[in-house]
Amino acid sequence: MRYTTLCRNSEFGRAYARGKAFVHPLLVTYVFKTRTRRLRVGVTSSKKIGNAVTRNRARRVIRAAMQQCLPNDAGSYDIVFVARGRTASSKSWQVQKVMQQQLRAAGVLPKQP
C-alpha cells in the first residue's frame, strides 16, 4: 500500500472543510479529491473518546483496518479517518467493513458487483 501521511493541521482542515463526510458509529471518514497523484491518509481521535490509552488503541484499530482495505492504486485523495467512541472497543475487522462501505460510497474503492 502506497500512501503518505497527513501531518499538518491545514491539511486536515482542508479535508474537513471541503471533503465529503461519511458517518458511522464506529468511524467517520472525510474524503477530498486532490490534484496530486498520491494518496494521503490521516488518522485522528479526539479527547472525547477517552484517555491516551483509549485514543491510541482506537488509532491502532483504524490503522490495522487500513492495511487490509486501502488499494495500491487508490488515486489522488486526502482521506481522514476520525475515531468514534466505540472504535477502541471494536475489532479491526468490524472497522474494516465500515471503512470499505464508506470508501466505496466515496468512489475510492470500486463498487461490488
What tens digit of pLDDT does each residue of 36-71 get? 888 899 999 999 999 999 999 999 999 999 998 887
Q: Which three cell numbers stand for residue 17?
A: 472543510
Pairing label, strands 77-83, 40-44: parallel
Of 20 and 4, the one with more pLDDT = 20
Confidence of residue 113 (pLDDT cuts 50, 70, 90): low
Separation of alpha carbons 84 and 44, rounded Å: 10
CA distance 55 to 41: 18
* Closest by Cα among 35, 69, 105, 34 to 43: 69
Per-residue confidence (pLDDT) for residue 4, from 0 to 100: 87
pLDDT for residue 38 = 86
Whether the per-residue pLDDT at 2 is higher than 80: the answer is: no
Candidate ranges 11-20, 63-72, 102-111; pick with highest mean pLDDT: 11-20
Q: pTM of the predicted model, to two decimals?
A: 0.92
The pair phi, psi for residue 106, each rounded to 5°, is: -80, -15
What are φ and ψ of residue 24, in 5° steps?
-150, 155
CA 41 to CA 12: how far, in whole Å?
10
Per the CB < 8 A criterion, the answer to whether 32 and 75 are in contact is no
Residue with cell 474494516: 96
Domains located in the chain, CATH noted: 4-105 (3.30.230.10)
Q: From CA 106, how far away is CA 104, in angstroms rounded?
A: 5
